[in-house]
């Protein structure tokens, strides 16, 4: 996302967090820009019954949790490590200075935010009106093309677990498992050694 040397030049430090550790909680004040050096992070919420809903998953090179930083609002979700992770953290004031001095980084940030907003709009429509199989394919295609930067014709190994797919689409795990099998029968996905490919 933003060049690591540039982050370090403006005072970014590295935070080490273990799998399952919480970096920030829903309702906390945003004080830092975060970007993943290694590992994986999810942003999630829980409903009144304790069911998890994953807002998104972020991998190496991705930033996360920055919208509240720009608008002085509390985090709308928790930031939790999925894997042991190293996270760049740069204070809000230093981050804004970086963007001011380097407009190309600012443009990159704007494009990234636009992609996420687009994904949220698409998934909101999917969750409210589309069948499970359609939701799952949309989600997989988003991760294939936007996160992994692959072309539609490229073969993609789905790294998301069935549980993560369920939490990202608002489905039950059993529905995800059934739908993936149905999509394989229809030729939209392949399953090899329990791994899903698109």
Q: What is the pLDDT of residues 125-180, one digit of tens each?
A: 776 667 899 889 988 998 888 777 888 889 999 988 898 899 888 888 999 999 99
pLDDT at residue 129 in the model: 66
Domain membership flag for residue 23: yes
Considering the domain architecture, whether residues 109 and 136 belong to the same structural domain is answered as no
Region at 187 (left for phi over 0; alpha for psi -120 to 50; beta for the rest): left
pLDDT of residue 198: 92
Distance from the Cα of residue 190 to its chain's centroid: 24
CATH at residue 172: 1.10.10.10
Kindly state whether residues 106 and 137 are assigned to the same domain: no
- 150 vs 13 pLDDT, higher one: 13
Range of the domain at 102: 4-113
What whole-number percentage of the chain has pLDDT above 90? 63
Does the pLDDT of residue 1 top 90, yes or no?
no
Work out the average pLDDT over 73-89: 96
Q: Mean of the per-residue pLDDT values for the chain?
A: 91
Into how many domains does the chain fold? 2
Q: Look at residue 16 and tell me whether its pLDDT is greater than 90.
A: yes
What is the predicted pLDDT for the residue at 117?
A: 85
User: For residue 56, what is the enclosing H or E element?
Assistant: strand 52-58
Give a yes or no: residue 24 inside a domain.
yes
Structure token digits, residue 142: 């988003």
Domain identity same for 80 and 11: yes
In a domain, 87, yes or no: yes
Q: Are 35 and 7 in contact (CB under 8 A)?
A: yes
């Amino acid at each position: 996302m933003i060049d690591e040397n540039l982050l370090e030049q403006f005072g970014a430090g590295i935070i080490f967090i273990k799998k399952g550790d919480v970096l920030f909680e829903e309702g906390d004040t945003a004080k830092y820009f975060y970007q993943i050096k290694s590992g994986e992070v999810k942003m999630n919420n829980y409903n009144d019954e304790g069911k998890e809903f994953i807002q998104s998953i972020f991998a190496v090179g991705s930033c996360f949790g920055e919208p509240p930083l720009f608008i002085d609002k509390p985090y709308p979700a928790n930031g939790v490590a999925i894997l042991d992770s190293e996270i760049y953290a740069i204070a809000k004031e230093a981050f804004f200075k970086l963007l001011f001095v380097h407009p190309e980084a600012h443009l990159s940030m704007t494009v990234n935010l636009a992609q996420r907003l687009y994904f949220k709009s698409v998934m909101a429509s999917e969750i409210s009106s589309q069948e499970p199989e359609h939701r799952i394919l949309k989600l997989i295609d988003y991760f294939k093309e936007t996160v992994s930067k692959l072309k539609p014709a490229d073969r993609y190994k789905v790294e998301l677990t069935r549980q993560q797919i369920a939490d990202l689409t608002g489905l039950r795990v059993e529905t995800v498992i059934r739908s993936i099998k149905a999509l394989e029968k229809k030729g939209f996905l392949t399953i090899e050694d329990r791994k899903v490919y698109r």
